[in-house]
Amino acid sequence: MVTDDGLLTAGIDAGASRIKVALFKGRRLLGHAVLEGGAENITEISKRALADTCRIAGITLEDICKIAVTGMAYKYVHLEVEHINESTCLARGIDFFMPEARTAIDVGAQKSLAMKCKGGVPLKIRYSEKCASGSGRFLDVVAATMAMDKAELSRLGLSTQDFVEVQSTCTIFAESEIITLIHSDAKPAEIARGAYRALARRLYGLLLQVGLEDVVCVAGGVSADACLLDELTKLAGCEIKTARQSDIVMACGAALAVQ
């Protein structure tokens, strides 16, 4: 449907752990939905997320002119959609939520993407290595190994400025290393802080490759983790901001990219 203030478009971000959908009329965000992945078919989850978003906006699926998809699991979304690469979606999403940011990083469940961008256009991009140690999965493993959830892990890490080094760059080896640290009577808070510092160093390395500006915008499922942001701010030496509604930045960028 074309209205006086623009096309109705939707974006689907099919991530490794969650499906995110955003609906736009021109440059206006009408609604969004975030659903957990689980074992259900990704296409079916995407359909439910689209239906939820349409219900929030008071429209029908048939009213949408174009639907775009991005994310690690985009190939499994078997709908009439247009695929948009993640770098374009991140750049468009950051331009919508935080246009002043020239450096951005999306910290996903399985990988991370750093970028220098301007005006919704990606200028330089770098992805984390295939190993999940540069992503939210690293924190999932650390939290599970320490028998807590990620919110507890973040609070524990923030309770101290001291840390023990987590040397392993592989998530599986890091799990073994943390078990060893626990058995050696290292303080849990210092283990947590060390794990966050290890992840922040990997993300900082990506940011250095694309070039740091005065403001860095962080998006993705781990972007609101206070302990990670604290460690990343110390390393970067500049302002680190979390994008508003940071978990739907990619989905918003996909919707905007097909207008």
Domain, as residue range, for 192 = 100-242
| Same domain, residue pair 82 and 104 | no
Mean pLDDT value across the chain: 91
Q: Which of 71, 62, 70, 56 is nearest to 23 (CA)?
A: 56
**Residue pLDDT, tens place only, 3-31:** 557 889 999 999 888 999 999 999 999 99
Residue 110 is predicted with a pLDDT of 80
For the cut 80, the answer to whether the pLDDT of residue 60 exceeds it is yes
Question: Do 145 and 235 fall into the same domain?
Answer: yes
Q: Are residues 117 and 184 in the same domain?
A: yes
Q: Could you tell me if 44 and 164 lie in one domain? A: no
CATH of the domain at 55: 3.30.420.40
Measured between alpha carbons, how far is 119 from 79 in angstroms, rounded to an integer?
A: 30
In total, how many domains does the chain have? 2
Residues 187 and 130 both lie in one domain: yes
- Determine the average pLDDT of the residues in 98-113: 90
By the 10 Å C-beta count (0-12 exposed, 13-18 middle, 19+ buried), 238 is classed as: middle
Residues 82, 155 within the same domain: no
Cβ atoms of 54 and 66 closer than 8 Å: no
pLDDT, average across residues 218-228: 90
Residues 117 and 215 in one domain: yes
Share of the chain above pLDDT 90, in %: 73
One domain, residues 106 and 84: no
- What is the per-residue pLDDT across 230-245, written as a single tens digit (0 to 9) for each? 999 999 988 899 988 9
pLDDT for position 132: 58
Quote the CA–CA distance of 250 and 173 in Å, as a whole number.
31
Pair 136, 107: CB distance under 8 Å: yes
Q: Say yes or no: 121 and 211 in one domain.
A: yes
Contact 85, 26 (CB under 8 A): no
pLDDT at 233: 93
How many whole angstroms from its chain centre is CA 39?
21
Q: What is the pLDDT of residues 134-143, one digit of tens each?
A: 778 888 889 9
Task: Write the burial class of residue 67 (CB in 10 Å: 0-12 exposed, 13-18 middle, 19+ buried).
Answer: buried
145 versus 168: the higher-pLDDT residue is 145
**Under a CB-based contact definition with an 8 Å cutoff, are residues 54 and 70 in contact?**
no
Residue 28 to residues 96, 191, 228, Cα–Cα distance (Å): 10, 44, 31
Same domain (yes/no): 129, 238: yes
109 with 215, same domain: the answer is yes
Write out the two tokens for 5.
Answer: 């203030």
121/40 same-domain check: no
